[in-house]
Structure 1
Amino acid sequence: MLHRAADWFPQGERVVDGLFRYTYPRLREQVLRCAALYHQLGVRKGDRVALMTVGSVQHVVALFGAIELGAIPAALHVRESVGTLSGVLEQLSPRVLVYDGAFAGVADELRQRKRLVTGFVRIVSPHTPPEQLTAGSDPVLPRDLEGYRLDFEPMEIHEHDTAIIALSSGTTGLPKGVMHSNRTLMEGARGGSYLWRMMPSDAMCNMMSTAFIGWYNVTLPVINAGAKVVFMPHWDAQGFLQAVQDERCTHAFLAPTMWRMLLRHGLEGYDLSLITSAGFAGEPMDTATLREIKARISPNIFNIYGSTESGSCSAGTVMFPHDLEDESRIDSVGRPMLNGDIRIIKPGGSADDVLPPGEEGEVLIRGPSVAVGFWYRPELARKVFEGPWWHSGDMGMIDADRYLYLRGRIDDMIISGGINILPSVVEDAVMRHPAVSEAAVIGVPDARWGQRVVACVVRRGAVTEQDLDAFVHETDLASYARPREYRFMDELPKGNTGKVSRKGLRALLAGD
């Protein structure tokens, strides 16, 4: 894919950030030099290369430099503790650790802990502090690449070879290492190009964390089409708007929380007229924000549901713009992606235990971009990969029109008095109150009922526990599912992906 982009779309700066602007031929040249550097550091086909980097041009060089050799890159969650990063490296056992100069201190700590990592490479990005641009004795990208040349043909790469290890968000214990092959990545790139109707004249800004599958779902379809991808090291509403204007971006893809922040920041003074489509994923969208995006950004809006395991762009589901014209379907995540499929099964059952439309159960996904397994965790892979189907752990329901609606995680199910209660149903009732900004519902231990329902609420206006209890009492929520307690918070704890962490909530309440 990268070599094809360099061969057929050589004109113009197509891979850019705040410091570097590469054409595809220049990117390929740097990738080959990086591969030669890795080879000198002992990297061979199948070896892992860990990347502690933010979104940038040099991250792309480091990533594809590993793939060029048939090595397996794994981008780390840069906000994790040193202890967690050390545990991840223990599982990955990488030959080389590539780190942004911004994380030089963490890299030094890991250098002392992990003797299996024998090579260290530093990269420069817009996130790198000035004092860290050239410090230290490790090779620096791109400064030192001119001294390397790939003067041999790497070992042959096959479509079934593991291409990357993408780390899950790590809500429980160490994050899982989700293995994607060259084939699943290419299918995701094709599916993404189809979804965005990507052409060589298009441009897209990618501010996703490099460890998330969303980074690949933006980057690979753009490179596959020979278009332009613009990298930001972290989320910044003003910086995003400026980049969209200056780089003449035609597509915008953000989480709903980011869209709300963008709209609150204000769009005045920015030329966003070239945007032809907008997308969101990762959490529910509210009607007011959806309407504002349609009116001020683009009427063509997509909602994507997928995961690290599904690869998302050729498995999972999508709401196309015409689907979202009916606002009553705003809570749906749509129908299967191109060449993908989904089904709802009885929780705890097999892929053959299919439930009819209207009944709630576990969401199963299959498609050409679904991952091939878990690194270091074959026993877990056997539990969630059943033939071509992946058990998502999400609860959902398919309605009569064949639209999928999510109902939370199976692990989040509350069992009170022997009755199963889905948190999402309770949250929907609480969120209807106009003074509630956010709500998350969990089960806490109860001597009589096993668990009792507790609602954790962020207020946007004045409201008391008694007010909410009376309000929910008037909804159609079953009496056994109503919260028995309300906890008001300034904010709800979030995980790496920005989603509410129920584990964090349970820990907070346990500490009270």
Structure 2
Amino acid sequence: MFDLGRSFVASVERSPDALAIVDGDLRLTYGKWFEKIRGIEGGLVKLGIGHGDRVMAIMQNRWEMASLHWACQLLGAVMTPLNWRAKPDEVDYCLQYSESRAIVYEGVSAEAVQGAQSAGGVPRVALDGAGGGTLGFEELMDAAPAAQLINAHAQDWSLMLFTSGTTGRPKGVPRRHQHERSAALAHIAQNLYARGERTLGVMPLYHTMGVRSLLAMSILNGCFVCVRKFDVPLALRSIQQEKITNLYLVPTLYHDIVQHPDLAATDIRSVRRLGYAGAPMTAGLVKRLQEVFKPDLFVNHYGSSEVYTCTIEPDVVSKPGSAGKSALNQRIRVIKYGSDDMDTRAPVGEEGEIAADLAGDEAFEGYWKRPDADAKAIRGGWFLTGDLGYYDEDGDLFVTGRVDDMIVSGGENISPTDIESLLSLHPAVDEVAVVGLPDERWGEKVTAFVKARAEVSPEELDAYCRSSSLPNYKRPRDYVFVDEMPKSPVGKILRRVIKEKHASA
């Protein structure tokens, strides 16, 4: 099997004059981009970085970040990206934990790097004259090419992602070249991508969705259009100017795009394929996206950093909320809630915990130096995703939330997703999150937090739920109106933050 370095070289040889990457005014063909990547590879060698060494990158979605990724694949080094919003203590911990041998960063992350004590012991490559660097990125890139172009094999480590760490220290998720290449090829097939595709490179390159977009485009000689930080007017201009053919975003970013006033004046006809992942999409947003884009393909990817794609629903419009069936490289099962036996499956229609087969081509092999985390998440050759879901009569998976999001009210187990999806269809509701708040009578009270786009009362929303097919025990007992929803860096609504903030009120 090809390693990723060979994959990139094959793309360069196949179409050296094809447009490969765009970042503002910078436009590079595969041939020209390859020259710069070779220089970066040589610069890493000059720094003493070798096969298997980790290289930490703390940058936004800029061409230098994408170039460093490919240079690491050629060298056999392990790309180790970190959220560019990370604080000094996070940089310090992740640098030591991953045993990274160098840091590449820019101005937006310079303060965090300078504040991380352990960063003083490794080379620090700074972009745009950012403070605290031991050399500049231009100096790194101007090095002579490495003596040997390709230094990795399919079984070598390619990438280490970090989980979000919302309930503790981040965990490293190491992935081999074969994992990453298999995931990219499946991503191409499951989205029906063609040569010359153009994607909006806005999902962070420290996140599995951003990496997947980069690899998929490069393997099939497509174009990766960098959007360094999500900004709706910039995203819309990029779609129109660069004739973007596919979008792969989290639901929140889609929501922001279709709600923005610039949308009406933007030519979006080039976009023919929509894909989303990272969180469930409400029925209201599915309907709106179908009306706006009229895509040829609208795909829901359900997966994780550990197991890239678990399931695929290739026709979101016909079955909103469905995560579909197992992806090309995976097997999935729903384990009875609370069971430790991987063979005890939940009956059709009953919620349980979703598990993925670790023999899958895209699946990781365990967390980086965290046997405690492995013991919790890996059982009998299966990865416990921490997600809840159920199979319907057609054999399609529905993901209903995180195990930690489960609401136990009046002795009933209630997941928030179907309640949120229903409320999202109300014309006055812009965004909604449902959580369980402590209650003396119910144990937890189903509470809906609503960001409204028009005047609406709790009584109206309650009547709306009562007139629907939503079971009465799932009906929210309280409504709280908010101006904004707390969100993760990649746009997920953080139910946990909402619950913690309001649980003691």
Q: Please give the TM-score of this superposition, normalised by the length of structure 1.
A: 0.88
Q: What is the identity, as a one-letter code, of the residue corresponding to 2:184? A: A
Q: What does 1:130-149 align with in structure 2 at a 5 Å threshold?
A: 132-133=128-129, 138-142=134-138, 144-149=140-145
Query: What is the Cα deviation at residue 444 of structure 1?
Result: 3.1
Compared with structure 1, are the counterparts of its residues 158 and 306 closer, same or farther at alpha carbon in structure 2 (3 Å cutoff)?
A: same
- The aligned counterpart of 1:355 is 346
SS in 2 for 1:104: helix
Separation (CA, whole Å) in 2 of partners of 1:181 and 1:457: 42
Deviation sequence 1:92-123 (CA, Å, 0-9, x none):
2211011023322322222xx11574111123
Separation (CA, whole Å) in 2 of partners of 1:147 and 1:424: 52
SS in 1 for 2:364: coil
Compared with structure 1, are the counterparts of its residues 428 and 201 closer, same or farther at alpha carbon in structure 2 (3 Å cutoff)?
A: closer
Compared with structure 1, are the counterparts of its residues 153 and 237 closer, same or farther at alpha carbon in structure 2 (3 Å cutoff)?
A: closer
- The aligned counterpart of 1:129 is none
Query: What is the Cα deviation at residue 51 of structure 1?
Result: 0.5
Unaligned runs of 5+ in 1: 124-131
- The aligned counterpart of 2:387 is 394
- The aligned counterpart of 2:445 is 452
Separation (CA, whole Å) in 2 of partners of 1:224 and 1:447: 57
Separation (CA, whole Å) in 1 of partners of 2:194 and 2:429: 42
Query: What is the Cα deviation at residue 333 of structure 1?
Result: 1.8
Give yes or no for the alignment of 1:14 onto 2:20: yes
SS in 2 for 1:454: strand
Unaligned runs of 5+ in 2: 1-6
SS in 2 for 1:95: strand
Q: What does 1:293-332 align with in structure 2 at a 5 Å threshold?
A: 293-300=289-296, 301-312=298-309, 316-320=310-314, 323-326=315-318, 329-332=319-322
Give yes or no for the alignment of 1:420 onto 2:413: yes
What is the percent sequence identity of the aligned residues?
A: 29
Q: What is the identity, as a one-letter code, of the residue corresponding to 1:458? A: K
Q: What does 1:421-500 align with in structure 2 at a 5 Å threshold?
A: 421-428=414-421, 430-431=423-424, 433-447=426-440, 449-469=442-462, 471-473=464-466, 475=468, 477-478=470-471, 480-500=473-493
- The aligned counterpart of 1:340 is 330
Separation (CA, whole Å) in 1 of partners of 2:316 and 2:441: 44
- Asked if the contact 2:39–2:140 (Cα under 8 Å) also holds between the matched residues in 1, the reply is no
Separation (CA, whole Å) in 2 of partners of 1:269 and 1:428: 29
- The aligned counterpart of 1:501 is 494
Give yes or no for the alignment of 1:174 onto 2:169: yes
Q: 2:36 aligns with which of 22, 30, 33?
A: 30
Separation (CA, whole Å) in 2 of partners of 1:471 and 1:296: 26
Q: What is the identity, as a one-letter code, of the residue corresponding to 1:85? A: V
Deviation sequence 1:197-226 (CA, Å, 0-9, x none):
333322222111111100112111111112
Query: What is the Cα deviation at residue 133 of structure 1?
Result: 4.3
- Asked if the contact 2:87–2:112 (Cα under 8 Å) also holds between the matched residues in 1, the reply is no
Separation (CA, whole Å) in 2 of partners of 1:400 and 1:250: 34
Q: What is the identity, as a one-letter code, of the residue corresponding to 2:278? A: G
- Asked if the contact 1:93–1:116 (Cα under 8 Å) also holds between the matched residues in 2, the reply is no
Separation (CA, whole Å) in 2 of partners of 1:397 and 1:353: 13
- The aligned counterpart of 1:119 is 123
Q: More displaced, 238-247 or 389-398?
A: 238-247
- Asked if the contact 1:200–1:228 (Cα under 8 Å) also holds between the matched residues in 2, the reply is no
Query: What is the Cα deviation at residue 174 of structure 1?
Result: 2.5
Separation (CA, whole Å) in 1 of partners of 2:474 and 2:263: 42
SS in 2 for 1:393: strand
Q: What is the identity, as a one-letter code, of the residue corresponding to 1:275? A: V
- The aligned counterpart of 2:4 is none
Q: What does 1:183-262 align with in structure 2 at a 5 Å threshold?
A: 183-262=178-257
Q: More displaced, 142-151 or 94-103?
A: 142-151
- Asked if the contact 1:94–1:116 (Cα under 8 Å) also holds between the matched residues in 2, the reply is no
- Asked if the contact 1:2–1:223 (Cα under 8 Å) also holds between the matched residues in 2, the reply is yes
Q: 2:50 aligns with which of 32, 44, 47?
A: 44
Deviation sequence 1:161-189 (CA, Å, 0-9, x none):
22111122332223322111111100011
Compared with structure 1, are the counterparts of its residues 325 and 78 closer, same or farther at alpha carbon in structure 2 (3 Å cutoff)?
A: closer
SS in 2 for 1:233: coil
- Asked if the contact 1:15–1:21 (Cα under 8 Å) also holds between the matched residues in 2, the reply is yes
- The aligned counterpart of 1:71 is 77
- The aligned counterpart of 2:154 is 159
Q: What is the identity, as a one-letter code, of the residue corresponding to 2:429? A: V
Compared with structure 1, are the counterparts of its residues 479 and 189 closer, same or farther at alpha carbon in structure 2 (3 Å cutoff)?
A: closer
Q: Could you say what the CA RMSD is over the residues aligned between the two structures, in angstroms?
A: 2.7
Separation (CA, whole Å) in 2 of partners of 1:414 and 1:354: 21
Separation (CA, whole Å) in 2 of partners of 1:166 and 1:271: 35
- Asked if the contact 1:58–1:142 (Cα under 8 Å) also holds between the matched residues in 2, the reply is no
- The aligned counterpart of 2:270 is 274
Separation (CA, whole Å) in 2 of partners of 1:118 and 1:297: 47
Compared with structure 1, are the counterparts of its residues 137 and 383 closer, same or farther at alpha carbon in structure 2 (3 Å cutoff)?
A: closer
Q: Please give the TM-score of this superposition, normalised by the length of structure 2.
A: 0.89
Compared with structure 1, are the counterparts of its residues 416 and 33 closer, same or farther at alpha carbon in structure 2 (3 Å cutoff)?
A: same
SS in 2 for 1:59: helix
Separation (CA, whole Å) in 2 of partners of 1:432 and 1:144: 52
Deviation sequence 1:365-415 (CA, Å, 0-9, x none):
233112222113122123323455322111111111122111111111223
SS in 2 for 1:148: coil
Separation (CA, whole Å) in 2 of partners of 1:348 and 1:78: 37
Q: What is the count of residue pairs matched by the alignment? A: 494
SS in 2 for 1:373: coil
- Asked if the contact 1:169–1:497 (Cα under 8 Å) also holds between the matched residues in 2, the reply is no
Separation (CA, whole Å) in 2 of partners of 1:425 and 1:276: 28
- The aligned counterpart of 1:126 is none
Query: What is the Cα deviation at residue 480 of structure 1?
Result: 4.7
Q: What is the identity, as a one-letter code, of the residue corresponding to 1:359? A: E
Q: What is the identity, as a one-letter code, of the residue corresponding to 2:251? A: P
- The aligned counterpart of 1:377 is 370
Compared with structure 1, are the counterparts of its residues 240 and 462 closer, same or farther at alpha carbon in structure 2 (3 Å cutoff)?
A: closer
Compared with structure 1, are the counterparts of its residues 260 and 485 closer, same or farther at alpha carbon in structure 2 (3 Å cutoff)?
A: closer
Deviation sequence 1:276-334 (CA, Å, 0-9, x none):
3222223343455434433443432222222211222xxx22222xx3452xx211122
Query: What is the Cα deviation at residue 267 of structure 1?
Result: 3.7
- Asked if the contact 1:94–1:117 (Cα under 8 Å) also holds between the matched residues in 2, the reply is no
Separation (CA, whole Å) in 2 of partners of 1:289 and 1:78: 29
Separation (CA, whole Å) in 2 of partners of 1:184 and 1:407: 27
Separation (CA, whole Å) in 2 of partners of 1:480 and 1:196: 38
Compared with structure 1, are the counterparts of its residues 27 and 348 closer, same or farther at alpha carbon in structure 2 (3 Å cutoff)?
A: farther
